[in-house]
Amino acid sequence: MNNIADLYREMDIDSDVLGLSDRIIEGLKERFKAIDETAEYNQLKVLKAMRECRVSEACLSASSGYGYNDLGRDTLEKVYANVFHTQDALVRPQITCGTHALAVALAANTRPGDEILSPVGKPYDTLEEVIGIRPSCGSLAEYGISYRQVDLKDDGSFDLDGIKAAINEKTHLVTIQRSKGYQTRPTLSVSAIGELISFIKGIKPDVICMVDNCYGEFVERLEPSDAGADMVVGSLIKNPGGGLAPAGGYIAGTKECVERCAYRLTSPGLGKEVGASLNVLPSFYQGFFLAPTVTAGALKGAIFAAGILDALGYKVFPGPDDSRHDIIQAVTLGSPECVISFCRGIQAAAPVDSFVVPEPWAMPGYDSDVIMAAGAFVSGSSIELSADGPIKEPYTVYFQGGLTFEHARYGIMRAVQQLKNDGIYTDAVLW
């Protein structure tokens, strides 16, 4: 057997879903071509950095103990700084996740009496306890660091008057979340972030501007650090890890900001000098090298998801024709049953744990039950095929990842097939 339709049928995709999928993809060829061109640019950018930083075979060797004089770790941080066009970078397996990276950056660069401002509305759920919006042991609020936010306008634009009024003598750090999190607001383009930073620094030049870059790396040709951000922060089990990094996070930015982060992550007086790389350096280097291409595949998957689910009548955000600035696709399904059905379809398409049936649960850091579908080679990796969402109105699921477009495509088809099998779809004419 070498017929792709027959193989899809054996993998539980019927001819109706396959036919709809083919029609959607046919209309995306020009869009995909532009994504491939961006991936090529970013691939060359990473390769250029590795050549200029003289990455060698010795850089792939492990260190242990204190990790003093770790050539591979130190060179990798130079590569990140080169790619992000920053003065320095901190790239460590000891950073456990994106939330941890952000918590380190916030705590390291604020002091009691300072105020943090979010000019783009509320941050991602897991940061609420870090900041102290929801009380939690060890929050920044417990250390006398206050927080203020200015919501976006109804059309998704910045409330410049509100931001200007919110900036005061205590405002020390501005945190800008690029991606939407569990919201349906627009993801911010690098250009928009640059305009916002310019506006803020025009009011208070010495304020630190930090960008939560999670899910946005390599989607565009520029990064927020090219647009004036003092720090960009992210997770290695998202875009920049390329699906190979088994853990870790990064902070890239000014020398002063990164140095403070290093002292916070390890210990005052030790900073970047310690932190053994153990055996992760080959995956860190190779994952970063592959990241532009892997991100492109995930981005194509998100656009395909928007197209096919929009055709079925669901509210998708961004829309199938909208510009893209991260790899996340939000789909409002309207009921808990729909969210659960969709996630079970994604899980069934996974290479690992495809037989597992996901259920909503009280996941730490969230204010409602959350369902997560992910059968990944790296636990929790959201550059791999995954979907998740809170079980609360408006019952929106967030799809992202896929190490290849082909897998992302199958995952979405399998989720649509699950909706169909469960009797949940909005326009039977499409079949």
The string of pLDDT tens digits covering residues 161-193 is 999 999 999 999 999 999 987 777 889 999 999
Question: Taking the model in full, what pTM does it have?
Answer: 0.94
User: Per-residue pLDDT for 425 more than 90?
Assistant: no
Q: What does the pLDDT look like over 306-322, one tens digit per residue?
A: 999 999 999 999 999 99
- Backbone phi, psi, residue 409, to 5°: -60, -50
Could you give all domains of the chain from N- to C-terminal order, each with its CATH number?
4-42+289-430 (3.90.1150.60), 62-279 (3.40.640.10)
Q: What digits encode the pLDDT tens for the residues 244-274?
A: 999 999 999 999 999 999 999 999 999 999 9
pLDDT at 182 (0 to 100)? 76
CA angle 363, 251, 300 (to 5 degrees): 65
Which pLDDT score is estimated for 429?
47
- Share the mean pLDDT of the chain: 95
For the segment 53-104, what is each residue's pLDDT rounded down to a tens digit? 999 999 999 999 999 999 999 999 999 999 999 999 999 999 999 999 999 9
304 within 8 A of 408, measured Cβ to Cβ: yes
The percentage of the chain sitting over the pLDDT mark of 90, rounded to a whole number, equals 93
**For residue 404, how many C-alpha atoms fall within 13 Å in the half-sphere facing its CB?**
5
Quote the pLDDT of residue 10: 95
**Whether the predicted pLDDT of 426 surpasses 70:** no
Q: Rounded to whole angstroms, how far apart are CA atoms 141 and 137? A: 10
Cα 369 to Cα 363, 365, 399: the distances in Å are 7, 10, 17
Give the position of tokens 């994504």: 35
| Lowest pLDDT segment from 195-199, 217-221, 331-335 | 331-335
Query: Tokens 């779809």 correspond to what residue?
Result: 425
What one-letter code names the amino acid at 70?
D
Question: In the prediction, which pLDDT does 180 show?
Answer: 84
Reference 374, options 397, 394, 395; nearest CA is: 397
In sequence order, the β-bridge partners of residue 286 are none
Under 8 Å between Cβ of 316 and 330 = yes
Q: How far is CA 393 from the centre of its chain?
A: 23
H/E stretch holding 399 reads: strand 396-400
Backbone phi and psi for residue 228, each to the nearest 5 degrees, phi listed first? 110, 0
- Which strands sit side by side in the sheet containing 370-374, from one edge to the other? 315-317, 329-332, 396-400, 386-390, 370-374
Q: Which residue has the tokens 């002063």?
A: 256
Q: Considering only residues 366 and 41, tell me which one the structure prediction assigns the higher pLDDT.
A: 41
**Whole-number pLDDT of residue 185:** 83
The Cα angle at residue 296 between residues 292 and 298, in degrees rounded to 5: 120
| Helix or strand (DSSP H, E) at 183 | none
* pLDDT at residue 292 greater than cutoff 80: yes
Cβ-based burial of 321 (10 A; exposed 0-12, middle 13-18, buried ≥19): exposed
pLDDT tens, 378-422? 998 999 999 999 999 999 999 999 999 999 999 999 999 999 999
> Which DSSP string corresponds to 290-328?
HHHHHHHHHHHHHHHHHHHHHHTT-EEES-TTS--SSS-
Compute the half-sphere exposure of residue 112: CA atoms within 13 Å on the CB side of its CA.
Answer: 3
How far apart, in whole angstroms, are the C-alpha atoms of residue 45 and residue 23? 34
The answer to whether 206 touches 150, Cβ cutoff 8 Å, is no
